Structure 1
């Protein structure tokens, strides 16, 4: 982490000015719980998400939003869940005990799903980055997403592999996490539905860095493409080993591979890799350019993949609270469920009955000359 401020356990997004003429005589803190990996190999994901949330809360505080009879000060209560499901449950209970007004997190599906049960028991609305289908299939009325789900993304990726890459024989690898396995499962369904064949399925972990054995097994199956469900910390060295073993099949992966970290880890071998990303490129987002400029000004660097979705997630919760004129979860939850607003990532942000986003958007990228370049974007509405 480059800034100690970002890693503080409580991040005050901004303190609203008191005592202005015509303003309320007091300020009311609205505390949002946030949890993600803020240390370890996935901390760059957590930092990116936290920055997007912080930017939204700072903007909200500058607007002087009034709720519950007073001017609100939106505060982010941050916890490091270490991308560990057991730690995530402990952190979730801590946030509940600290009487936060809502939850913006977690990041990983594997931490979000067990933590969501704690929040649901406490009747706390939760908007998470997690993309695993299981998150909203629990049928809790408290669960909402920041991004397109893996069911939607996997369907688009599997179809792309068969129809656009012309791959009839596909090998799958996943890291056994809720995210990696769930995405690979959806890709497998879509490949078969498009007329492709799964010739090999292998498994690894989110801590591994030597994939020679499973890649040797895959090479023997002579696939036309290899799909990996997992993190950039694994896909980077995996791509180097694919090249070393002389495997010509392209590597295709999900949004956690679509990062600068992957390119750094894969080195010269990165070129030719495909990765899907829920949503559209930042430059094509409804207010992507404005968001990027604001992010650059605030954090002195370009936003990552997850920052704009976190930003919209925060504004979704803030807007629901504003519409309800209350930060009481019981009062603003119905407003969140029927939300309809224009955001940075989309002009049509709304939720279905499960808490999934109604708009489905997936973009395929490819590494060319050491940089990610857009290949194709698919946008549709959920049925």
Structure 2
């Protein structure tokens, strides 16, 4: 953005004319721009996640505009829908001629990576599913695999002497991966029981809550989509059922915590650690901390990209671009707890 209002009128005219010529030429001080397509949910039930990632990227650019002169982000809303994600991929690749694609979410990524391999488009994928990068040189995951989330969860539960775990889950790849990770890492004497596996659209848990009253678990795992988490807590409250609960990354949803209030008190989940400095800067800019771990991920991705390509956006080809990212990032997982409407990282985890 060029601010002209504090300059003399004649100077403003010259700068404005020069700016128009500059923009029409499609050039920057460093030559062609490095174009990044960002396919994320910006509307729909999971918009909070995509908006956080987008905000993180925008914050990185706002804080260091000089590093992003040769970088352009092109955002496309896929609503966490696989068909829309494929459409976004085709638009960004065929029409916008992007150099790199950034995607969020297990299901959309699964739908797109075969196309990326076919068209040789490099993809940075925020997914806990490690299979997307197997035998696919055009994909790098920018998030810990599900197994690491599961291991961290079990490590913490063992400190609380948890042995018998009940799971209520949605039938979707993300939730299945989390459960498989738990199963593979159980120690002797520990067990998991799937109480019910439901469609992601199912919102009636009254019968399941009634069954839970007669079942004995040390803790209940809710591997559900956000609307289902909301429905379960409310219906459990109606039946006055209270038990220890752990969840997935969607427990970091500010909307869920605000809606459910004390019902989520004491619930735990595993997610990426976020520095207090980033949290302070982010909340000052966007006035919320919803899904801030994904905001931090977006910020880190944008900052790393600026370091790699901000001053030299040379078109390296798909393999050259991804090679630049290899071993360039690491995300620490921690256990977080919801307490009195706030999220805290549990020390020592």
8 A contact 2:67–2:307 mirrored in 1? no
Deviation per CA, 1:231-252, whole angstroms, max 9, x where unpaired?
3322122123234334443110
2:139 aligned to 137, 143, 162, which one? 143
Is the aligned partner of 1:335 residue 2:324? Answer: yes
Which TM-score applies when normalising by structure 1? 0.76
| 3-state SS, counterpart of residue 54 of structure 2 | helix
1:174 aligned to 169, 176, 181, which one? 169
Other-structure match for 1:306: 294
8 A contact 1:237–1:266 mirrored in 2? no
Rounded to whole Å, the distance in 2 between the matches of 1:219 and 1:92 is 46
Unaligned runs of 5+ in 1: 1-14, 66-71, 284-288, 341-348, 350-358, 379-383
Other-structure match for 2:335: 364
Is the aligned partner of 1:102 residue 2:95? Answer: no
Is the aligned partner of 1:374 residue 2:339? Answer: no
Q: CA RMSD in A?
A: 2.9
Deviation per CA, 1:340-365, whole angstroms, max 9, x where unpaired?
3xxxxxxxx2xxxxxxxxx4622112
Rounded to whole Å, the distance in 2 between the matches of 1:281 and 1:297 is 15
Which moves more between the two structures, 328-337 or 81-90? Answer: 328-337
| 3-state SS, counterpart of residue 221 of structure 1 | coil
8 A contact 1:120–1:140 mirrored in 2? yes
Shift in Å, 1:109: 0.6
Other-structure match for 1:160: 156
- Cα gap change, 1:85/1:193 in structure 2, threshold over 3 Å: closer, same or farther? farther
2:193 aligned to 185, 190, 199, which one? 199
Rounded to whole Å, the distance in 1 between the matches of 2:257 and 2:226 is 9
Deviation per CA, 1:311-363, whole angstroms, max 9, x where unpaired?
112233343335976233343332222x43xxxxxxxx2xxxxxxxxx46221
Rounded to whole Å, the distance in 2 between the matches of 1:316 and 1:25 is 20
Give the number of equivalent residue pairs. 325
Rounded to whole Å, the distance in 2 between the matches of 1:211 and 1:299 is 35
Other-structure match for 1:344: none
Other-structure match for 2:6: none
Deviation per CA, 1:201-229, whole angstroms, max 9, x where unpaired?
31123333221223333333311111122
Unaligned runs of 5+ in 2: 1-18
For CA contacts below 8 A with separation 6 or more, give which structure has more relative contact order. Answer: 2
- Cα gap change, 1:187/1:29 in structure 2, threshold over 3 Å: closer, same or farther? same
- Cα gap change, 1:227/1:194 in structure 2, threshold over 3 Å: closer, same or farther? farther
Rounded to whole Å, the distance in 1 between the matches of 2:338 and 2:220 is 15
8 A contact 1:251–1:274 mirrored in 2? yes
Deviation per CA, 1:153-183, whole angstroms, max 9, x where unpaired?
111112322x123222111122122212211
| 3-state SS, counterpart of residue 343 of structure 2 | strand
